[in-house]
A and B are shown apart, each in its own frame.
Chain A
């Protein structure tokens, strides 16, 4: 009986947010879940994006079908980073980590990785995605897609860091998730 209860508890805690999870807000316009955090001069907003939307956005840029299909299999977020302080700050996105509920660690696949892959196919496109090194002066901000090789619906915690005046800051957004599987056209 104790074993059964423990099993049920594990199943529930795997599928539902834990107490420490950030509760995403819902963008009123898009209805998409978004996570937001502002700490020590850095504001970070991540909007969950579905594969059909990602596919449509990249196809509209005139990219080849295989390139569009490939990126659509990834877990994508519309990512907005702002410097909300009056001092410069920097962030190295390749240092950011995504840890799934199973404890597996992933890195973001950034602009440099995608551009290298696309250039090998003769595609020169280099927009929409965020690059590794980000520097922000007073008033600066950026927006773009961040990608990670995770399946639809995967839950994870994001561990991110940034530097200001040689001081390293860290923060975690717990209980994020990739967009669920898109409904398939019958």
Chain B
């Protein structure tokens, strides 16, 4: 079978895109730090800005409704490789501490619900915590998020006590211990 130059070019571009797709995040998986468990402790915790966002079922979530619980807020997108990489560890963290009332909120940036819904179905394990939509990125601006993924850990009093810029392994014992100490 002979491909026309045009088809051949398009095919080449397709393969190039497939190969470079991890860079949309922009690093490839292998450049993502492994075993990264460091969290920045805020010695002077600040109040976490409240919000109202919808989840995939159209249900509203506010930060206020989770007062008295430990909340992990994770800003992410489906095109961000380190976000995808850390998602299973967030699920493990959630499963470990949900009986202690840990709340994990994955806040998607700038994507439509169909794309995210389809993407979630492909994750193993599939996240069982709520995925919220910050469609206009207003909340990420409020939290001064510089890049994805970014994570904030909020104590029972509604204060940000830890933050992380870039991917982490949230099921790492050192992170687990830090979160366990907040209950």
Mark each residue of chain B from 139 to 157: 1 if its CB lies under 8 Å from any CB of chain A, else 0.
Answer: 0010000111000000000
A186 touching B6, Cβ below 8 Å: yes
B147 touching A185, Cβ below 8 Å: no
Q: B16: CB under 8 A from chain A?
A: yes
Q: A143: CB under 8 A from chain B?
A: yes
Q: A145: CB under 8 A from chain B?
A: yes
B22 to A, closest residue via Cβ: A29
Residue from A127, A138, A143 whose CB has the most chain B CB atoms within 10 Å: A143
Chain B residues, CB < 8 A from A153: none
Chain A residues, CB < 8 A from B39: 139
A141 to B, closest residue via Cβ: B166
A142 touching B137, Cβ below 8 Å: no
Q: A61-B110, A185-B10 are in contact. Are A143 and B137 (CB under 8 A)?
A: no
A127 touching B110, Cβ below 8 Å: yes
A143 touching B26, Cβ below 8 Å: yes
Mark each residue of chain B from 24 to 35: 1 if its CB lies under 8 Å from any CB of chain A, else 0.
Answer: 111110110100
Complex: A186 Cα to B5 Cα, angstroms: 7
Chain A residues, CB < 8 A from B77: 127
Q: A113: CB under 8 A from chain B?
A: no
Chain B residues, CB < 8 A from A101: none
Q: A8: CB under 8 A from chain B?
A: no
Q: A178: CB under 8 A from chain B?
A: no
Residue from A49, A80, A124 whose CB has the most chain B CB atoms within 10 Å: A80
Complex: A79 Cα to B26 Cα, angstroms: 7
B136 touching A53, Cβ below 8 Å: no
B20 touching A53, Cβ below 8 Å: yes
Interface size on A, residues (CB 8 A): 42
Q: B79: CB under 8 A from chain A?
A: yes
Interface residues on B, range: 35 or more
Q: B13: CB under 8 A from chain A?
A: yes
The B-contacting residues of A in range 11-56, CB under 8 angstroms, are 27, 29-32, 45, 47, 49-50, 52-53, 56
Chain B residues, CB < 8 A from A147: none
Q: A174: CB under 8 A from chain B?
A: no
Instruction: Out of B6, B19, B23, name the residue touching A78 (CB < 8 Å).
Output: B23
Complex: A128 Cα to B163 Cα, angstroms: 20
> In the complex, how many angstroms separate the beta carbon of B139 from the nearest chain A beta carbon?
12
Complex: A53 Cα to B25 Cα, angstroms: 13
Q: B9: CB under 8 A from chain A?
A: yes
The B-contacting residues of A in range 39-88, CB under 8 angstroms, are 45, 47, 49-50, 52-53, 56-57, 60-61, 78-80, 82
> In the complex, how many angstroms separate the beta carbon of B32 from the nearest chain A beta carbon?
9
Complex: A78 Cα to B82 Cα, angstroms: 14
B16 touching A125, Cβ below 8 Å: no
B166 touching A31, Cβ below 8 Å: no
Instruction: Out of A27, A50, A139, name the residue touching B164 (CB < 8 Å).
Output: A139
Interface contacts beyond A60-B24, A126-B141, A127-B137: sample of 10 additional A-B pairs, CB < 8 Å, sorted by A = A29-B22, A52-B13, A127-B148, A135-B146, A135-B165, A139-B39, A139-B166, A140-B38, A140-B40, A185-B9
Please list the 8 inter-chain residue pairs (A to B) with the smallest Cβ-Cβ separation, ordered nearest first.
A139-B38, A78-B26, A141-B166, A137-B40, A140-B165, A142-B147, A143-B26, A143-B27
